[in-house]
């Protein structure tokens, strides 16, 4: 056997197997038109050489098109999901050479049936891959079962669903995040005996698995370390922001000695802006995510801490994982926890810088 080059090329394999370059290419890509004898010779040479094809070059040369669909909650421009979708668009641009198309659909986070109907529409189109922010398990599972029946790989963003098998999950460990948030709040509250949880709800629906899991983790920490501290709750209107100020007025007038609170959604600015408007400088507040209005409240001092989770990276990595799996045939790490980043007015500029 003649000395082989350091990098094995298709023409080297063809020479060793005594077949044409086209025959080797058809074997590598699983195409028809190759005799059984030639196929066997090529496969034996590939095995002997431990040949690893250049998947990048192969993908560029392929004419296959990949259609991905993302399913996220409806939101206003500038809210949390705007950043996730920016990551999606960035990934679509980064992998545009590989014939991928990415579409984003939406569902009403406060209407579980909206998720179900959006899922049915996606299943009818049978895309090559799906990136989804799931709703509560009992309404998510039908969509997931449909994806699995069609052998469509799916990625979870933001929250995970037990007893399912996504290709990957990108998001915080929400339970641990809530546990951490409780510890940070109690560093601010010290020995005070009352704190408040602010929620955004619609007819009893929180609208996010992450928020519910964060609160579970939060309450676990409080039970373990501050069992005598009373936790109050104020449920603001998810779709009636005009009523928030009155509800906050009523709460603070009724509970003037409560000076510490937290919200597990991304709209801490609702409470932060209220505190600023009413000059309540003594109240300590913790919230989530780097919305511009949240960051403004942090800088003004009406939010003490923000907990961030890199939403753009979650969106980007969701599409990237589908490309790595389907196009480049890579193994994908299933659980990918994002960092629990604690931000203050002192470090926000370094974190927020592009």
The answer to whether the pTM exceeds 0.75 is yes
Higher pLDDT, 29 or 237: 237
Residues 194 and 273 in one domain: yes
- Provide CB contacts within 8 A for 230, sequence distance 6+: 193, 194, 195
Residue 319 has pLDDT above 80, yes or no: yes
Instruction: Please state, in angstroms and rounded to a whole number, the distance separating the CA atoms of residues 251 and 245.
Output: 10
Residue 76 lies in a domain: yes
Residue 351 lies in a domain: no
Residues 227 and 293 in one domain: yes
Can you tell me the mean pLDDT for 265-287? 94
Residue 202 lies in a domain: yes
Q: Tell me, what CATH number does 27's domain have?
A: 1.10.260.40
Both tokens of 90, joined, read 């960035």
Which residue range forms the structural domain that includes residue 27?
Answer: 10-53
Residue 350 lies in a domain: no
Residue 1 has pLDDT above 50, yes or no: no
Both tokens of 300, joined, read 């003004």
Indicate the pairing of strand 305-308 with strand 341-343: antiparallel
Residues 78 and 101 in one domain: yes
Counting the structural domains of the chain, the total is 3
Residues 25 and 71 in one domain: no
Residue 354 has pLDDT above 60, yes or no: no
Residue 239 lies in a domain: yes
Q: Tell me, what CATH number does 247's domain have?
A: 3.40.50.2300
Residue 150 lies in a domain: yes
Nearest to 186 by CA among 229, 235, 150, 152: 229
Residue 352 has pLDDT above 80, yes or no: no
Please name the residue ranges forming H helices in the chain. 10-17, 21-28, 36-49, 55-61, 80-94, 112-125, 137-149, 174-189, 209-225, 244-254, 269-277, 292-300, 311-326, 348-352
For residues 222 and 258, the answer to whether their CB atoms sit within 8 Å is no
Residue 47 pLDDT level (bands cut at 50, 70, 90):
confident
Residues 163 and 204 in one domain: no
């Amino acid at each position: 056997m003649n000395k082989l080059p350091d990098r094995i090329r298709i023409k080297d394999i063809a020479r060793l197997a005594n077949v044409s370059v086209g025959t080797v290419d058809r074997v590598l890509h699983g195409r028809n038109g190759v005799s059984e004898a030639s196929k066997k010779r090529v496969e034996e040479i590939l095995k002997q050489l431990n040949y690893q094809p250049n998947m990048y070059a192969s993908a560029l040369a392929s004419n296959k098109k990949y259609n991905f669909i993302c399913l996220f909650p409806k939101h206003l421009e500038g809210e949390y999901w705007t950043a996730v979708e920016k990551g999606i668009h960035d990934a679509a641009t980064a992998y545009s050479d590989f014939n991928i198309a990415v579409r984003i659909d939406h569902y009403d986070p406060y209407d579980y049936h909206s998720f179900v109907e959006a899922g049915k529409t996606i299943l009818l189109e049978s895309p090559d891959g799906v990136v989804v922010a799931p709703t509560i398990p009992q309404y998510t599972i039908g969509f997931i079962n449909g994806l699995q029946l069609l052998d469509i790989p799916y990625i979870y963003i933001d929250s995970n669903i037990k007893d399912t098998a996504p290709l990957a999950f990108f998001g915080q460990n929400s339970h641990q995040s809530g546990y951490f948030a409780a510890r940070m709040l109690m560093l601010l509250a010290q020995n005070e005996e009352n704190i408040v949880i602010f929620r955004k709800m619609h007819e009893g629906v929180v609208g996010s698995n992450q928020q519910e899991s964060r609160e579970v983790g939060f309450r676990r920490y409080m039970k373990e370390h501050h069992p005598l501290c009373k936790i109050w709750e104020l449920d603001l209107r998810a779709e009636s922001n005009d009523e928030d100020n009155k509800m906050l007025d009523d709460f603070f007038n009724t509970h003037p000695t409560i000076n510490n609170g937290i919200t597990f959604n991304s709209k801490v600015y609702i409470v932060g802006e209220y505190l600023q408007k009413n000059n309540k400088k003594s109240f300590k507040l913790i919230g989530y995510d780097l919305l511009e209005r949240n960051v403004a409240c942090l800088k003004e001092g009406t939010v003490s801490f923000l907990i961030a989770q890199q939403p753009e990276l979650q969106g980007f990595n969701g599409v990237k994982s589908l490309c790595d799996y389907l196009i480049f045939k890579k193994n994908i790490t299933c659980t990918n926890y994002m960092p629990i980043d604690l931000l203050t007015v002192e470090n926000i500029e370094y974190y927020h810088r592009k």
